Amino acid sequence: MTRKNGKSIVISDTSIKKSNEISMTKLNKGLTLNQMQLLSYAIFSTQKNEATVFHKADFEKQFNIDEYRTNHAKIDSEKLLELKVSTVDLANDCFEFLNVFTRMTYRKGTFVFEWNTSFLPHILDLKERYIINDLTVTANFKSSFSWVLYEHLKALYGYWHKQFTKAELMSLFNVEEVKSYQINTSLFKSKVLDFAISEINQYTELEVHYTEMKKGRAIIGFDLHWSTGKFETAASEKLITEIRSIVEAVSIDASKLIMISDDQARMEAVRVFNLIMTKAKELTESSTQDQAQNIYDYIKIRMNELNKILIDTQTEIDEKSIFYNWLDERE
């Protein structure tokens, strides 16, 4: 049974789905962080637009990459073109290899990837046994080790701990040939395992820790434990735009409030105006859809109150006033 924690992560519309099968394979093995990002953005483009055509600038923006040169694109694309999903069971005399991509093209800042059609069921029309990764969350990772462990643990849905030998973890992270890690477990922990867990705990919904498995004084493995928090949907661009339109309209037409001749009505209008502006300040880049909707509903009520005051006091209003007509236009 999955264990829960109190973490809440706001996700945007940049989430991708991957079948558990490819998340549990060695699909990411040997990939650099940029290559993992490029693969994930290709999946995102396909799931969002049903085509793997995207601009380098959009890729850079998504993952906060300062400069992604053409030679970087060439190296990473060549590596992704070599990707394959493999199933090997020599004990039962069978194996299968499946290439992920059939072609990759890059021309003047535009990527075009063509998937192997046999691979598409792993990323399209997924109904069950899949993981969800939000690219805004994984964009925070500074190490490929973090990405690999994060996906691996998420694919173990329903579990809350698993024992790994040191050799199994080194293989998972593709560092089994690094001699310094082979002979120095403390170095492997600090440079690989602990670093990955630290980033996962800092940026994701998972909370991970481990206990060491020992034989005598030697560390032979790690018993990993994890719990999961919840995702909340980020405020949509449409809703954010609506709220900002209200604030802009109120700000532009605020001068009309001083035209109210009745002192009490004018003071009430100014009070409501201040309530609107104060509430609008609650909208931030990390606001959830529910939080933004609450702000929108509150401001809409206050806008109705302002309009009623202006009508009741017969304040002269320009028919083109955004402030006065804003609600009517959106009903």
What pLDDT is stored for residue 301 in this prediction?
Answer: 93
Q: Report the mean per-residue pLDDT for the chain.
A: 88
Q: How large a percentage of the chain has pLDDT more than 70?
A: 94
Confidence check: pLDDT of 321 > 60: no
What pLDDT is stored for residue 315 in this prediction?
Answer: 59
How far is residue 85's CA from residue 80's CA, in Å, rounded to a whole number?
Answer: 12
By C-alpha distance, which of 149, 132, 36, 34 is closest to 83?
36
Can you tell me the mean pLDDT for 179-186? 96
State the pLDDT confidence band at 330, using cuts at 50, 70 and 90. very low
What pLDDT is stored for residue 327 in this prediction?
Answer: 46
Confidence check: pLDDT of 263 > 70: yes
pTM beyond cutoff 0.75: yes
- Site of tokens 């069950």: 128
- Spelled out in words, what is the top-level CATH class assigned to the domain 140-234? mainly alpha
State the pLDDT confidence band at 318, using cuts at 50, 70 and 90. very low
For the stretch 93-124, pLDDT in tens is 998 888 999 999 999 999 999 999 999 988 99
- Site of tokens 């940026």: 203
By C-alpha distance, which of 290, 173, 289, 158 is closest to 228?
158
Joined tokens for residue 217: 């004084």
For the stretch 59-87, pLDDT in tens is 999 999 988 999 999 999 999 999 988 77
How far is residue 36's CA from residue 27's CA, in Å, rounded to a whole number?
Answer: 10
How far is residue 254's CA from residue 257's CA, in Å, rounded to a whole number?
Answer: 6
What pLDDT is stored for residue 126 in this prediction?
Answer: 86
What pLDDT is stored for residue 326 in this prediction?
Answer: 45
For the stretch 299-317, pLDDT in tens is 999 988 988 888 888 754 4
C-beta separation of 93 from 114 below 8 A: no
Joined tokens for residue 328: 């009517």
Joined tokens for residue 208: 């991970």
CA dihedral of 306, 308, 309, 314, whole degrees rounded to 10 = 130
Type of residue numbered 116: N
Q: How large a percentage of the chain has pLDDT more than 90?
A: 59
Tell me the domain boundaries of the chain. Answer: 21-133, 140-234, 237-330
CATH of region 21-133: 1.10.10.10
Q: Do domains 21-133 and 140-234 have the same CATH topology?
A: yes
Q: Where is average pLDDT lowest: 22-26, 133-137, 208-212, 241-245?
A: 22-26
